């Protein structure tokens, strides 16, 4: 009887160990129903259970930091390389996202050994075709939005917004902190109003005639045009046009949704498998058709809404390392705050 009991205990322990090894825990700051559908497909294909802990980025990061070595998090998935970079800088990520499949799928500047881009977006200029001429936009750059000719004509989100912090961090990386500080003063001088609202609010401000140009991420226009945000936003989106800056030099500023490997991840191997799955054509098509982001990998086309209204023929900045967004984040906020960017 004792031998049977010991054998039963061993079987129970092995089954328990297998259960732990056959799951992956995602601290998820991307709030898309489509993402959950994708994780279900991964489970059906691999048998690996995906445990989703959803929340806002700040709350999830706080929890990971506070729990430390006791954290159950395997992957932190969020929308901006700056957030992944900041977590890395604080020492809460680990290396290991270096499989051959990941390296083959993702360009060097869009990944590190600790976090990897899983979908791309560009932060671009939207303009009113009724009030902005082709001559004004010719050769337009991010640096150019500080030109006095745009005085009283620009809307952009607050300095605390992570998308802006990453954009300004990239300018610091390319132009230096001193030049970027002067640029930030010019941007503030050109604002049509104090910064407020999300990216869609900036596009709507141009459509309403409150400003002539706005800075916002690419996927927002497609989201508005899709009708998912209501008829008012759909009509507003039809009144603006998209412009990709810096086509004559480094290319348009790119950012990513990223998957970061948390330090002490209890299911590291499964986490790597999930990231590899997110970089397959099947998953990339799911992203592009549901969240209107650009695919990370070659061979997958963006959503028709993106292609038809934003286009594909633009030069992306593939040289500025996205790791600099986290590295320069504090300096970016400093120059914006000093310039009076609220």
Q: Are residues 192 and 153 in contact, defined by beta-carbon separation less than 8 angstroms?
A: yes
Listed residue (143, 144, 213, 215) closest to 180, CA to CA? 143
Sign of CA dihedral 112, 70, 28, 40: positive
Query: What integer pLDDT is reported at residue 31 of this predicted model?
Result: 82
User: Could you say which residues of the chain have pLDDT below 70?
Assistant: 1-21
Hey, what domains does the chain have and what are their CATH numbers?
2-120+256-301 (3.40.190.10), 121-253+322-338 (3.40.190.10)
Beta strands in the chain, from DSSP E residues, in sequence order: 23-28, 49-54, 75-78, 115-127, 154-155, 213-217, 241-243, 254-261, 294-295
């Amino acid at each position: 009887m004792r031998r049977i009991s010991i054998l039963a205990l061993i079987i129970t322990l092995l089954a328990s160990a297998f259960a732990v090894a056959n799951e992956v825990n995602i601290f998820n700051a991307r709030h898309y129903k489509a993402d959950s559908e994708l994780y279900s497909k991964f489970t059906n294909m691999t048998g690996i259970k995906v445990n989703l802990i959803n929340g806002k980025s700040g709350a999830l990061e706080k929890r990971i930091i506070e729990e430390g070595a006791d954290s159950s998090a395997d992957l932190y998935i969020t929308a901006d390389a700056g957030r992944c970079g900041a977590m890395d800088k604080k020492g809460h990520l680990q290396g290991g996202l270096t499989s051959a499949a990941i390296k083959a799928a993702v360009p060097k500047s869009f990944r590190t050994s600790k976090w990897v881009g899983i979908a791309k977006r560009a932060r671009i200029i939207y303009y009113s075709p009724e009030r902005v001429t082709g001559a004004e936009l010719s050769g337009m750059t991010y640096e150019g939005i500080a030109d006095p000719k745009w005085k009283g004509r620009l809307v952009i989100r607050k300095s605390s917004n992570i998308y802006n912090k990453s954009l300004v961090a990239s300018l610091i990386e390319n132009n230096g902190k001193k030049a970027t500080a002067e640029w930030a003063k010019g941007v503030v001088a050109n604002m049509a109003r104090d910064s407020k609202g999300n990216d869609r609010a900036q596009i709507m401000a141009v459509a309403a005639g409150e400003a002539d140009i706005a800075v916002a991420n690419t996927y927002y226009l497609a989201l508005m045009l899709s009708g998912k945000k209501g008829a008012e936003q759909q009509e507003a989106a039809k009144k603006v046009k998209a412009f990709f800056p810096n086509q004559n030099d480094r290319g348009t500023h790119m950012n990513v949704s990223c998957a970061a490997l948390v330090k002490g991840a209890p299911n590291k191997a499964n986490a790597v498998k999930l990231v590899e799955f997110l970089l397959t054509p099947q998953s990339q098509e799911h992203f592009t058709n549901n969240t209107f982001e650009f695919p990370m990998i070659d061979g997958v086309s963006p959503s028709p809404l993106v292609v038809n209204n934003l286009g594909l023929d633009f030069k992306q900045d593939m040289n500025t390392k996205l790791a600099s967004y986290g590295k320069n984040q504090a300096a970016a906020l400093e120059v914006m705050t000093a310039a009076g960017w609220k």
